[in-house]
Amino acid sequence: MCSVPSMDSPDLPLVNGNWQYPSYVSTDNVSTENLIMPRGKRESVLDTKNLGYRLRRRKELIGRRTRVSDIAFVLAIMGIIITIIDTECQFAGAYGKNKPISVYLRVTTSITTIGLLGSIVMYHVIGIKLRLVSQGLNNWRLVTDWKDLAKLISELTVCVIHPLPFYTDAALPMYVSNVDELHAFTVENLPLNSIFTILMFLRVYLLMRFLVVHSALFCDTTVQSLGAMSNVNINAQFVFKALMTSLPGTCLISIMGLVLLINSYSLRMCEHYTLDNHRQTFFMQAIWMTCVTFLTLGYGDVVPRTTCGRVLAIGTGMMGVGLMALCVAVLTRKLEQTRGEKYVHTFVQQIKKDKSYKNAAAKVVTEFLTLCRLRRLGVEATEDRFVYHRRRLLHAVRDMNHSRYLRTQVGESLIGPVEINKNVNEVYDMVEAVKDDHESLKQQIENMEGLMSTMADQLRELKTMISGKNEEIPSNVATTGSTPVTPTRSMYSPISGEESTS
């Protein structure tokens, strides 16, 4: 039996069968199994009460979610690449769609798709755990709603689409327009695997997630803290705006290149089975038509024939309109002058306007003096010389007023929100200084009033004392008689040990 001391000692470890009520006891002949708290119970307590554990757990979950996102992105890209290789080999006639190598490639795509679905589910589960740890809760129902479920279902639906590994004869009826006869349509079958191949490009959204989880703005703890304090959600939209602000040209070129390649290849997939000739060279025509549609030019030399191709053309046109608007916004911001450039340009313009105003004023003075000289010479106001110089004076006055107006406009164009804010701050500082001076002056006046009151009281007391002395002197003279007492020497002689005799 172990000897249990009468009082708990802090130098002994916490040991108890019931982990909720531990106490300090001796470790003699005690198994070490009781020293470890059950894992599930330990986590359920620590994730709500221990801040250090929550921070460490949050860091681990963020790292795990990043790795899961990387795995999902790699599996998605692998599936797309394998499907493109299989499709191109079939288009080139290297093998048929029912050959074993084609089946193997499609089975590999299915395997990567299964792994991708598992990664997506794991990503969302880790996200729920992150919210639990951040908010200090235990029940996952408290941090989830129908939006999370809808988002998970939509991602699984998008990522589950891939070419069927075995049933390759399935086809989808589709209207195809006739080039020779206008308004003539025929119905042809488009292989279902081709539609699934086109829809597989929707997995590209994982690229944005990959960039977000590896972005310094998303991973930095300082940015996350500032976002939480400022009520700003640090998500994919925030990262995209930050990238568009810092690297607008790179982002736009990357997006346009990605849209061009994906839409061109998808258009080729739609139109390949309806072309009788030139199937191998139609990819260049698809790129040309995608560019024309993307830039909203619409030459009409190459047009899609299938319904699938026309839907892709509509989507390409809508993407082009949106990206062109972004390009215009970026160019407008880049071509706008900075504050320093605006100051320099405005300063140069002010110098030019001042010079123009001085020249116009000099012309006014010159023409006025010329008119005065002509009048002294006796030239009549109706003569041609006098009228000529008078007309020039009027033009000079008009030019001087116009130059002064332009100079004022140039000065006002430099005033912006920054300058207004600066002036407001200066006025505020001046008002505060005047207020402080007023308070100091008020305090000094109050001190002077107190001092004057004290001096008045002292003067009043002094006056009372003087008036009292004046009243005492006449009364003493009346009691002693009219003859005043003349002091003798003995009255003022000092006493040196003996009493003076009167």
DSSP assignment string, 55-101? HHHHHHHHHHHHHHHHHHHHHHHHHHHHHHHHHHHHHHTSS-TTSHH
CA dist 175 and 308 (Å) reads: 9
Q: 405: which 2 tokens? A: 């107006």
Residue 23, helix vs strand vs coil: strand
CA dist 116 and 124 (Å) reads: 13
Is the pTM for the entire model greater than 0.75? no
Confidence of residue 121 (pLDDT cuts 50, 70, 90): very high
pLDDT reading at 389 higher than 70: yes
Quick one: average pLDDT of 178-182?
63
Residue 379 phi, psi (nearest 5): -75, 130
β partners of residue 260: none
Confidence of residue 133 (pLDDT cuts 50, 70, 90): confident
pLDDT of residue 334: 80
461-498 pLDDT, tens digit per residue, is: 888 888 877 776 665 554 544 444 444 444 444 444 44
Pick the range with the lowest mean pLDDT from 8-12, 314-318, 414-418.
Answer: 8-12
Query: Quick one: which of 14, 125, 3 has its CA closest to 72?
Result: 125
pLDDT reading at 156 higher than 70: yes
Of residues 71 and 422, more confidently modeled: 71
Quick one: average pLDDT of 112-122?
95
264-295 pLDDT, tens digit per residue, is: 999 988 888 877 666 666 788 889 999 999 98
pLDDT reading at 11 higher than 50: no
β partners of residue 171: 191
pLDDT reading at 325 higher than 60: yes
Confidence of residue 160 (pLDDT cuts 50, 70, 90): very high
pLDDT reading at 86 higher than 80: yes
β partners of residue 186: 176
Is the Cα dihedral 199, 161, 158, 150 positive or negative? positive
Which of 42-51, 314-323, 419-428 is predicted most confidently? Answer: 314-323
pLDDT of residue 279: 65
Distance from the Cα of residue 251 to its chain's centroid: 17
CB 68 within 8 A of CB 118: no
Pick the range with the lowest mean pLDDT from 77-81, 199-203, 464-468, 473-477.
Answer: 473-477
Confidence of residue 76 (pLDDT cuts 50, 70, 90): very high
pLDDT reading at 46 higher than 50: no
Q: How many residues does this entry show for the chain?
A: 502
Confidence of residue 414 (pLDDT cuts 50, 70, 90): low
Residue 173, helix vs strand vs coil: strand
Residue 379, helix vs strand vs coil: coil
pLDDT of residue 176: 80
pLDDT of residue 183: 63
pLDDT of residue 44: 46
Quick one: average pLDDT of 6-12?
36
